[in-house]
Structure 1
Amino acid sequence: MRILLLVGGFLFLLSHAFGQVSIRGNVSSTAGQPLVGCVVLVSKADSSILAYTTTDEKGWYVLEMDPDTTHVLLTINNLGYVSQSRWVSAESQSLDFVLEKEPVDLKPVLVKGELLPIRVREDTTIFTVQKFADGSERVLEELLKKLPGIRVDENGGISFKGKPIEKILLEGDEFFSKNYHLLSKNLSAQLLGTIEAIENASDTPLLKGIERSDKTVLNVKLREDRRKVIFGTADVAAGLTQRYEVRANVFSLIDRLKLGVIGTANNTGRNPIPEVTYDLGKEENESSPVQDSNPGQVLIQKPGFTVPGIAAERFNQNRVGLGAANVTLTISPKVKMKAFTYRLGDRNPQQIINRYTYVLEQSPLIIQDTQQLETRPRLQVSQMALEYMPSTTTRWKWEGNWQTERINSAFDITSSNPAFTEQLQQKMFSRQEGMQQQLGYIHRFPGRRALTVDAYFQQQNRPQELRIRSDRFKAFFPENTGEITQSVANQRQIWALQSRWMGAWGDRRKYAFNANFSDLRESLSSRLLSQAQTIENADYQNELAYRKKHGSLEAQTTLPWGKLEFFLGASVHLVQLQASGEETTFRYLNPMAGLTFRINQDTKLGAFYGRNQSQPSSTNLMNGYVLSSYRSFQRGYAGWNRLKTSYFVLNFSNTDWLHQFSMHTNFTYASEKSPYIQRVGVNDQFTFNSLIPTPFPNDSYELATDLSKYLPVLQLNTNARLSAGWNSYQSMVNTNILNRGAVRSLQGKLVVRTAFDGMINLEAGYEVLWSDVRETGVSLGYNRLSKPIVALKMNPSKVWFFILTSEWTHLKTDAMQNQFYFLDGLIRFYPLIGNFRLNWLVRIY
């Protein structure tokens, strides 16, 4: 039934795509050779452009449009050839063109497509920054939010056409590897010239045209006046409530050396790097989210509290500092060295006071809880790599990664009322240290074939300690007094070897064979201690010596057929586990299949199906699994013999670069079955996400005639986003259902923007988030968040601007209601001094 709903929804979205006028044909030279990259434009008599596209590698083009006239002008442009134009009837038809080479003595023909703010060249989409920036953007991330097709989520994650990007390049070179937040949240927008979104990207040019890749990367190119000089920016912000924010960066792209240094500090709650990627290999057990969400019983839990719907910079009084440096040095034409390091420190105190008054028959009873949490995380990550290319077809690469993370936190809670007083204190310390050494080899053979081999060794040490003082635990351990400590130790070593043989033949046909082997050894221990002695209770002590040998073979192929492209793949896994004197073996097959239908140059429909099976990880074994019990449990439940996830995805994307329009819609259905020692969990998820801007951005609407001479053009821009989800779950033993429930959610956001001559901008938005958790027909939790936002921005010059934002949040649950109101003001002044730009900000919170 859910699959029918998915297909029905897609047919509804696609109904408009097949009601348009279609003009298609081929463009070739007088010598009969197909011309690639020709710009094909359709315009009306008033020169307004209806649609445009470019020819593919065989010279074919397809134009879809909704004309409001009987005839249109079709124009073909290509650099080095004489352009052609024809008046044709506005109906579906086929038209071929033959272009003559431009004589040498003629002046160059100006291609209209080059004047557009967006240009498309094969898999690369190029955005001209000055066409989208209005001067208010402080960093790269704020500019990316204005580019069509690019989305930046609340955590700083960036996606293009619905696909998450892998990394951000600066002038073609990696900066800070996969930790692109360091660039997106700190690189000044004043330095940018163009942004390139590269689809089907490969890690090396040696695999271009061979590797089937779904990776997307962004390449940031600087302004011409910022190249071959040392340049930088600095931001200084101060608030009226003792808040501050400082950011500075210095870059140098001179000859063979590319250097970047970033530093920032603030106490406004702004996180300069919200998500950390260590670039260390992970245990490839493909662990299930449902399994991971069900840990075994732990006596002491890490405390924490949040205020839903409120941005961190609204209420966090933290002190965060970040320092980062990246260097790329071309030692010789064959040898290149890359290195980066960054260090992050933070202090985040929070406090919540809850006061309850109970009206009794005799007198009121007042209970007050005061919670204080202070977290001090520190993180340092370093990476160094050497690349050696003895020839144009071979590359050797060594890479080393080192990372250290420490977290200290303290938690205090004090409860007071006339009858009872208790003080609870808890402290936590955790550390994670790791290193990885990796050696890679790539060779490209004639006939579009390539071999890659990677070997790596990884070692990690992750101790953790929690201390707690409370009268509540006297009932558990009456013979012990003082603090009780939970100590967890975890050490891991991994040896791995990966090899790929890939190739391409014919037209866009590709294949790949992957072989992987890893040997993981891990030890975990957990125990409780008091100040006097170790607590001799077996329920609170766990030790595990764990080893996993994992081998897999995978085959993939891509088969194009007209506008369709099929993807087929399968992987065979053999896993041997050894734990607590027991040994068992898992064998499983993971199939996958997908297709992409390109309706036209800018509209695509895709579908994908996959099934993933796995085995328990070491953490799950530590939290209650016994290998022999798990093995016998498998035999007793036919069809539930292991972790299994099946998922089906439909996606639709339509991008009209001419009008800067981009719509992406995804329907996802996932069914997950997870066996535990005493129960089986079932989790079905159905989600819908859509990003639909309407009308087209930058469309202008003339006001009434009597006002047009005073307000010549008013620009309107609206953006709508809708997300819905349904997640059902159940647990059972044998065939008896223990519990059954569902989580429903709906989120919508509408933003309307208007501008007057580019100097005064008004923005109004409204966001609603609704969710409900129900189990056996009873609501367990209801939440509704509504948040209107109004903003005014004045940008009278390129030197300073003013922003005023008003935000009101209404949070309602089944037990309470809260309202929050904020008024932010920002004045920014940034003069240019030589090659450095100094930004002065005054922020009102």
Structure 2
Amino acid sequence: MLILCLNFWAVKAQDIEVSGMVSFSDGGVAPGVTIVIKENEKMLSYHSTMSDGSYKFKMPSGNANLLLFKSIGYKTTEVNIKTLKITDQKHASLDVTLQEDAFELKGIVIQGDGKKERDTVALNLDKMNLTENSKFREILSKSPNFRLEDDGSIFYKGKPIDKILLNNRPGFVNQNSVALESIEKRMIEGIKIINNYKNNFSLNFDEVEETVLNIDTKEGFKNIIKPSFQAGYGYDNKYNFQGEALYFGNQLNSFLTTHTNNIGKMNVNLREIDVLLRSQESLSVYQQNVLNELLIPNKNRLSDFSSSTNYTFRKETPANRINATVYYFNTDRTSSLFSQSTNYDGSEIFKTNQTIHTKGNTLLSNIIVDFKMKTNQILSYQFGGNLLRDKGFSPQESVYGGVDSIHIFSAQKTSIGSMINKVNYDYKVAKNLILGSRTFWYTERSAIPVSASTDQQTIFNQDLVYRKNNIGQSIFLRYKQSEFFSPSLELNAGRVSEELNGQHNLNARDLDRSIMTYKANFKVFGERILKRIRYDAVFGIDHGDYKMGNGKRNYLNFPFDAKIRFENKLDLIEFNAANKFTPYDLQSGTVVLQSYNRVIQGSTAYPLNQSKTRIMGLKYAHNDFLKMLSYGGSANYVKNIDQLKDAFVKVIGNGLQQYQLYAIPSGEQYSVEAYGAKTIFSAGFPIKLDLNFKYLANNSPVYIMGNLSSVKNKDKIIRAGLESNTSSPINIEINTKNTFSNINVDGNRYSSSYSTNNFLLKYRTKKNEATLTFLYNNDHIIGKKYIRRNFNLSLKRTIGKTILGVEAENFDDIFKIFDNTAYNSILNFQNGINTVTVRNMAISYIMFTIKQNF
């Protein structure tokens, strides 16, 4: 309700001082409310209320005629300036009461109720210089209030976004990369950021409030399958085929995407698959190795075929919910690289010219079914079944000591099958008491045959078979005393049994390990302390019995994980600390051949041991949509105790490199990051600016020739970006990343610097798009310079629902305009040796494309 007094507007607006109080409908004061002063549709200036809800300002020059009072979760209140009562002292008093703007989000109600404020922001797509075919990635990247990473991560106000709703229903869950490429502006009615979304199928008091994106689709894209198809073919038999079918319904969201090409593109990424497998209690070292081969993108290859298909089905009714996801990957890749390794004193150990050819296919599936048996009981079942296959070979020529040249042919083949069954049951015994249980069983079998040979003989052969069974049972009791304090107790018992069998000519050991664990976790949780503070902490007592052969060892660990967060509408401050314990991989107890030419020697004592990790982190984020501004920073500290690392020992007579596993007593990592993004000149010539600075320090000793040596790494990374976003057909974008690296090994210093730069010239009209990109890399590694220069080009013409185009990448290599011999060069110090790695090839193509929307 407005408290207004009418009077004749008889003096100039800029002579008037306006003051008053703004409150919410529940009587509470309203800090941080935005007050916009307008002349018709033109914004003249804006102000904000103080922490006590008060405000005071002088009218700006101009013919101001309207005041707007805005706050997230409340209706905008408009005041005609001519209705204000002006005193003889040229002062006007105005008090405003904001009314709630509540709405229902299928299963939850988000509103400002005096206890928990609604936090929802809508994006205005009409002022972003977009076309109907602009992808979701471009939409978010144009706003300085989002941070997008190469791995598909989306951050808003320092918080990750892992769920994207479609019409207020779950759509993309840990599938940002699919959403970023599949959703286009032509489908979107509106986009909202919801900061306090909760899972509808959960009874837990301590369910974390998530930040999610909700996409409201246009009516023409609801309850109907909308397919599209894209094809491209060009020079040197390069091709790219994509297809998708999307269905957005009232209770069902489903989509099928497929992508086949030989130009190094994929529409899924390792981070999201990693999250999927970790939810299945899996991701062994063998699975991780295969996924690295399949999913780590790198366009600097000789050839790169990949085919990926994803089908996702999500249906939710008041009584049940089904989430099903299936991925299939097929890859065939060849890389060419040159590496040179030296001792810490600079003396050369070996040089290697290597071609690596890998081929694999993988099927991943995950199904979760939730049942609301009653209003106070939820039963959930999860099934995951995975098949991973990868084979590769690598012919290589190595020169040792600058004299001896040895040709080695290595081959490996990995076949992995795994399955998970998990049952969860939650029972709300009383209004403030929940009883629950968790039961799971996981099994895995991996076969890893590896061989290496010279022209004369087989020098290494192994046929490892790894088996794992993991079964666990837990029960918990959660009690909610108040919003400020909710304790819970969880008891857990589990058993892991593992076997590693194999035969090769380096005295293989068959290993059989079992780990029996008993855990008790006490958790405390609270929120809305002083209306802004949330905390949760888990303190555990873990007892573990490790057995392998005749060896046995017991552990009593005290892990913890704590987090405290302060958050208001614009700012977030969060501190976290954790203490974790991890058993060594079973393969640390034997000899294995890795990366085609590295023989790694373990110890039977290692599988009975564990590593420890201590983590502390602090982050701050500020996000202001009205000012088109975001900035923040973070500081993190990690200490690793008894972490296993392999160290170079010698070159075996047959040409293989021998490494020894060592437990490093202590290693520390520090990182500090600051970032900021803002759109400047928003009224006439909007330009988005991005700045990022990151400092990394790693003090982690390594063993060199059997002696523990000090190794300190320091990296400074500076990123900057500029993108114009005007209504003009022509816009520009400039991105630069500069890394300065220093390595200190027992007083010996090595320096390197890497500069990666992109310059984009963009032309866009309603039906035509063109982008010309120039890439320039300038790397300096231990006195040597590596330069890369390339051009990329994209042309598109829209004719109805058809898009015709030309796509070219590194096309100057085809015409040999530049003499590029190095792509993505890098220096690192690992395993006790310095290694400079140079990728000397990159994929180049020119192709014609066509896309058809239906």
Give the TM interval when normalised to the shorter protein: 0.7 to 0.9
1:761-808 CA-to-partner distances (Å, cap 9, x unmatched) read 1112322111111112112x43211123211111121x2211111111
Specify whether residues 187 and 80 from structure 1 end up closer, same or farther in structure 2 by C-alpha distance, changes over 3 A only: closer
1:28-47 to 2 correspondences below 5 Å? 28-29=24-25, 40-43=34-37, 47=43
> Once the 2 structures are TM-superposed, how far is the Cα of residue 655 of structure 1 from its aligned partner?
0.8
1:542-589 CA-to-partner distances (Å, cap 9, x unmatched) read 423333334232322326542544544422211121211232221121
Partner of 1:611: 579
Q: d(CA) in 1 for partners of 2:250 and 2:664? A: 61
> Once the 2 structures are TM-superposed, how far is the Cα of residue 688 of structure 1 from its aligned partner?
0.9
> Once the 2 structures are TM-superposed, how far is the Cα of residue 443 of structure 1 from its aligned partner?
3.3
Partner of 2:377: 394
Partner of 2:564: 595
Contact 2:717 2:739 in 1 (8 A): yes
> Once the 2 structures are TM-superposed, how far is the Cα of residue 754 of structure 1 from its aligned partner?
2.3
1:38-85 CA-to-partner distances (Å, cap 9, x unmatched) read 9652547874343568x9xxxx87699999979996736887897568
1:651-662 to 2 correspondences below 5 Å? 651-662=619-630
1:48-63 to 2 correspondences below 5 Å? 48-51=44-47
Q: d(CA) in 1 for partners of 2:425 and 2:54? A: 44
Specify whether residues 499 and 661 from structure 1 end up closer, same or farther in structure 2 by C-alpha distance, changes over 3 A only: farther
> Once the 2 structures are TM-superposed, how far is the Cα of residue 181 of structure 1 from its aligned partner?
3.0
Aligned mate of 1:425, from 409, 415, 433: 409
Contact 2:768 2:797 in 1 (8 A): yes
Question: Is the counterpart of residue 253 in structure 1 residue 240 in structure 2?
Answer: no
Partner of 2:257: 262
Partner of 2:23: 27
- Give the SS at the match of 1:318: strand
Specify whether residues 523 and 668 from structure 1 end up closer, same or farther in structure 2 by C-alpha distance, changes over 3 A only: same
Contact 1:517 1:552 in 2 (8 A): no
Question: Is the counterpart of residue 384 in structure 1 residue 367 in structure 2?
Answer: yes
- Give the SS at the match of 2:682: strand
1:106-163 CA-to-partner distances (Å, cap 9, x unmatched) read xxxxxxxxxxxxxx97244443444446228654334332334332222333333333
Q: d(CA) in 2 for partners of 1:101 and 1:419? A: 80
Partner of 2:393: 410
Contact 1:582 1:627 in 2 (8 A): no
Aligned mate of 2:358, from 370, 375, 394: 375
Superposition RMSD in Å: 4.5
Contact 1:729 1:742 in 2 (8 A): yes
Moved more, 679-688 or 261-270: 679-688
Counterpart residue identity of residue 264, structure 1: H
Aligned mate of 2:325, from 340, 344, 354: 340
Partner of 2:141: 145
Question: Is the counterpart of residue 487 in structure 1 residue 463 in structure 2?
Answer: yes
Q: d(CA) in 1 for partners of 2:225 and 2:48? A: 40
Counterpart residue identity of residue 327, structure 1: F
Aligned mate of 2:307, from 299, 321, 337: 321
Contact 1:235 1:248 in 2 (8 A): yes
Partner of 2:709: 739
Question: Is the counterpart of residue 795 in structure 1 residue 764 in structure 2?
Answer: yes
The structure richer in strand per residue is 2
Percent identity of equivalent pairs: 13
Partner of 2:268: 273
- Give the SS at the match of 1:144: helix
Q: d(CA) in 1 for partners of 2:576 and 2:20? A: 29
Moved more, 605-614 or 719-728: 605-614
Q: d(CA) in 2 for partners of 1:804 and 1:384? A: 43
- Give the SS at the match of 1:211: coil
Question: Is the counterpart of residue 578 in structure 1 residue 547 in structure 2?
Answer: yes
Aligned mate of 1:515, from 480, 483, 491: 491
Question: Is the counterpart of residue 454 in structure 1 residue 444 in structure 2?
Answer: no
Question: Is the counterpart of residue 75 in structure 1 residue 69 in structure 2?
Answer: yes
Partner of 1:752: 722
Partner of 2:831: none
Contact 2:761 2:772 in 1 (8 A): yes
Aligned mate of 1:671, from 624, 635, 639: 639
Counterpart residue identity of residue 359, structure 2: R
Aligned mate of 2:190, from 166, 179, 194: 194
> Once the 2 structures are TM-superposed, how far is the Cα of residue 515 of structure 1 from its aligned partner?
3.1
Aligned residues: 723
TM-score by length of 2: 0.74
Q: d(CA) in 2 for partners of 1:698 and 1:679? A: 52
Q: d(CA) in 2 for partners of 1:172 and 1:392? A: 21
Q: d(CA) in 2 for partners of 1:622 and 1:819? A: 42
Partner of 1:349: 334
Specify whether residues 826 and 81 from structure 1 end up closer, same or farther in structure 2 by C-alpha distance, changes over 3 A only: closer
- Give the SS at the match of 2:516: strand
TM-score by length of 1: 0.75
Q: d(CA) in 2 for partners of 1:335 and 1:748? A: 48
Partner of 1:443: 427
Partner of 2:701: 730
Specify whether residues 220 and 764 from structure 1 end up closer, same or farther in structure 2 by C-alpha distance, changes over 3 A only: same
Gaps of 5+ in 2: 1-18, 88-92, 102-115, 342-349, 592-600, 645-660, 812-854
Question: Is the counterpart of residue 766 in structure 1 residue 736 in structure 2?
Answer: yes
> Once the 2 structures are TM-superposed, how far is the Cα of residue 25 of structure 1 from its aligned partner?
6.3
- Give the SS at the match of 2:178: helix
Specify whether residues 43 and 686 from structure 1 end up closer, same or farther in structure 2 by C-alpha distance, changes over 3 A only: farther
Specify whether residues 451 and 341 from structure 1 end up closer, same or farther in structure 2 by C-alpha distance, changes over 3 A only: same
Counterpart residue identity of residue 744, structure 2: R
Counterpart residue identity of residue 517, structure 2: K
Specify whether residues 139 and 346 from structure 1 end up closer, same or farther in structure 2 by C-alpha distance, changes over 3 A only: farther
Counterpart residue identity of residue 491, structure 1: R
Q: d(CA) in 2 for partners of 1:750 and 1:132? A: 21
Q: d(CA) in 1 for partners of 2:417 and 2:409? A: 27
Partner of 1:697: 679
Aligned mate of 1:178, from 174, 177, 183: 174
Partner of 1:555: 523
